[in-house]
Amino acid sequence: MIYDIAVIGAGVTGCMIARALSKYKLKIALLERGNDVAMGASKANSGIVHAGFDAKPGTLKAKMNLRGNELMEDVCRELNVPYKRNGSLVLAFSEEEMETLHELYNRGISNGVDGMSILNRSELLAVEPNIGDEAVGALRAQTAGIVCPYSLTIAAAENSVTNGVEFFRNFEAVSIDFADDIFTVSAADNKIETKYIINAAGLFADEIAAMIGDNSLHITARRGEYYILDKSVGNLVTHTIFQCPSKMGKGILVAPTTHGNLLIGPSAIDIDDKNDVSTTAEGLKEVSALALKSVPGATTRFAITSFSGNRAHEDKNDFTIEPSSVNGHFINVAGIESPGLTGSPAVAEYVENIMRGIIDLQLKENYVTTREKPFRYHLATDDEKRAAIAKNPSYGRIICRCESITEGEILDAIHAPAGARDVDGVKRRTRAGMGRCQGGFCGSKVVELLARELNISANEITKFGGKSDILYERTK
């Protein structure tokens, strides 16, 4: 079979593009090198829907940010993804930084951002009483929000697959050939043929482009380290709290997550190995210290986990979304770092329009715009719980104690379109293992359920695919 379009990379960008194009009568393949969607930066970022005052006016980053912010609420409603327009504050710790806030404000006005205001200290404390003593004022942006980035990616992938997109996991493209207007994308043990390629390979978009001889991209991994703090401090702030941005990014933030935890981070340092997502003592220390300056209560004494993610920083410092100069059937969607999550619905729309200029897009008669709302025991009312358990008793068996996640929810995650195949996949879809004990109790049960449902033995189950084995052979 020859696909019309192959999207390379199942991060938030690739999945949102696949979803946008799945409305049309097209045969689409979504290729992912990992064992799941959202395996790169999409699972390890700040989860912020930015207002849009950061990006330089006129850049694609600015345009995608504004349009994405506008679209995000509806997208999250359609896909049933946790989203909240909580507003953001950029803190100033000196008069000099107050100047920076005014610059940001003016930039925001040029970019078309609504709902901004500059607060003095007392106005700041009125909206966020737990801010540190050193803050003298803040730029408030009421259109900023928070979204769960991997939930958005997963939901977009599910919706795409429901609409006929084929998801190939563990498909790591190693070469691309082009002959008779057909691309052949080869992985180690598989290959597909396609008329068009959308290169949404994140950190590796430059390497994928180079496979067709397009050397116009150069991407550097910019590491960001984070802590997740316990829900007991999840209410310290309601806004996303930024510090003044630097050349390397938007600085350390303190933000509530859509799940009620507090997120602090990220650090920003360029690294050589794109695959290296390890945390460092220095990075974590920096995050921990700087976060305290913004919100003194946000101490890492409440840390339940730390992680790191790599931003795909492209040399031009802007998004690249255009057909390759080498081959017009190959669309680069590259350099998607912040505000890439915010911009993802807009990037999808933008790519959809590019494709409309290249091929004839005909709407399917019965495409589905929404993703069904997954049952969430811990969010359900007593009546909803009773009804759900009556219909499916496995919603009455709690597997993850910390987050109250039931067996039924885990089975749903495994059997969903583009469903979970490993322990981390279950975790991202259900939150099983994301609580205080970090899977100490439920980890082995999740392994057991995956093995049972996928009909393989427990020692074939991995943490996140590949060689991330959990168990070895049976005991004697």
Q: What residues between 130 and 189 interact with other proteins by CB under 8 A?
A: none
Judged by CB under 8 A, the stretch of 56-64, 88-96, 133-141, 433-441 that binds other proteins is 433-441
Distance of closest approach, residue 225 Cβ to other proteins, in angstroms: 9
Q: Which helix (H) or strand (E) holds 63?
A: helix 60-79
Of 47, 82, 297, 443, the residue at the interface with other proteins (CB under 8 A) is 443
Does residue 437 belong to the site contacting other proteins (CB under 8 A)? yes
Least Å distance, CB 423 to other proteins, is 8
Say if CB 379 and CB 409 are below 8 A apart: no
Among 153, 279, 327, 342, binds other proteins (CB under 8 A): 279
Of the candidate residues 234, 323, 396, 417, the single one contacting other proteins (CB under 8 A): 396
Q: How far is the CB of 397 from other proteins (least distance, A)?
A: 5
Whether the CB-CB separation of 444 and 423 falls below 8 Å is answered with no
Which residues from 211-230 bind other proteins, rule CB under 8 A? 227-228
Q: How far is 145 from 147, CA to CA, in rounded Å? A: 7
Q: Which of 409, 399, 407 is nearest to 443 (CA)?
A: 399
Question: Per CB under 8 A, does 454 bind other proteins?
Answer: no
Residue 203 as a binder of other proteins (CB under 8 A): the answer is no
DSSP state string for 77-131: HHHT--EE---EEEEESSHHHHHHHHHHHHHHHHHT--SEEEEEHHHHHHH-TT-
Q: Which amino acid is at 286?
A: E
Are 227 and 306 in contact by the 8 Å Cβ rule? The answer is yes
Q: Show contacts with other proteins in window 237-256 (CB under 8 A).
A: none
> Which of 374/439 has CB closer to other proteins?
439
Q: Which of 283, 339, 340, 343 binds other proteins (CB under 8 A)?
A: 283
The answer to whether 278 contacts other proteins (rule: CB under 8 A) is yes
Count of residues touching other proteins (by CB under 8 A): 55
Question: Residue from 317, 440, 452, 460 that binds other proteins (CB under 8 A)?
Answer: 440
Stretch that binds other proteins, among 84-92, 193-201, 248-256, 299-307 (CB under 8 A): 299-307
DSSP 282-306: HHHHHHHHHHHHH-TT--GGGEEEE
* Cα(129)–Cα(275) distance, integer angstroms: 40
C-beta of 34 vs 335, nearer to other proteins: 34
Q: Does 315 bind other proteins (CB under 8 A)?
A: no
Does 404 interact with other proteins (rule: CB under 8 A)? Answer: yes
User: Token match 């997963």: residue?
Assistant: 154
The answer to whether residue 303 forms part of the interface with other proteins (CB under 8 A) is yes
Per-residue b or e along 379-405, where b marks 16 or more CB atoms closer than 10 Å to that residue's CB: ebeeeebeebbeeeebbeebbbebbbb
Q: Can you spell out the DSSP letters for 228-260?
A: EE-GGGTTS-SSEEEE--BTTBS--EEEE-TTS
Q: Phi and psi (nearest 5°) for 244? A: -60, 135
Q: Among the candidate windows 62-70, 255-263, 279-287, 336-344, which touches other proteins by CB under 8 A?
A: 279-287
Identified binder of other proteins from the candidate list 277, 334, 336, 420, rule CB under 8 A: 277
Which listed range, 105-113, 210-218, 253-261, 462-470, lies at the site for other proteins (CB under 8 A)?
462-470
Q: Is 329 part of the annotated catalytic residue set?
A: no
Q: What is the largest CA-CA distance in the chain?
A: 70
Query: According to CB under 8 A, which one of 307, 326, 367, 417 is a site residue for other proteins?
Result: 307
Q: For other proteins, which is the closer residue by CB, 283 or 419?
A: 283
Torsion of CA 107, 217, 153, 328, to 10 degrees: 110
In one-letter notation, the amino acid at residue 23 is K
Minimal distance, residue 468 CB to other proteins, in Å? 4
Region near other proteins per CB under 8 A, out of 130-138, 143-151, 330-338, 381-389: 381-389
List CB contacts of 361: < 8 A, sequence separation 6 or more.
Answer: 21, 24, 26, 352, 355
Nearest to 323 by CA among 199, 182, 204: 199
Residues involved in catalysis: 50
Binding site for other proteins (CB under 8 A): 227-228, 275-281, 283-284, 300, 303-307, 382, 385-386, 389-390, 393-394, 396-398, 401-402, 404, 436-441, 443-444, 448, 458-459, 462-464, 466-476
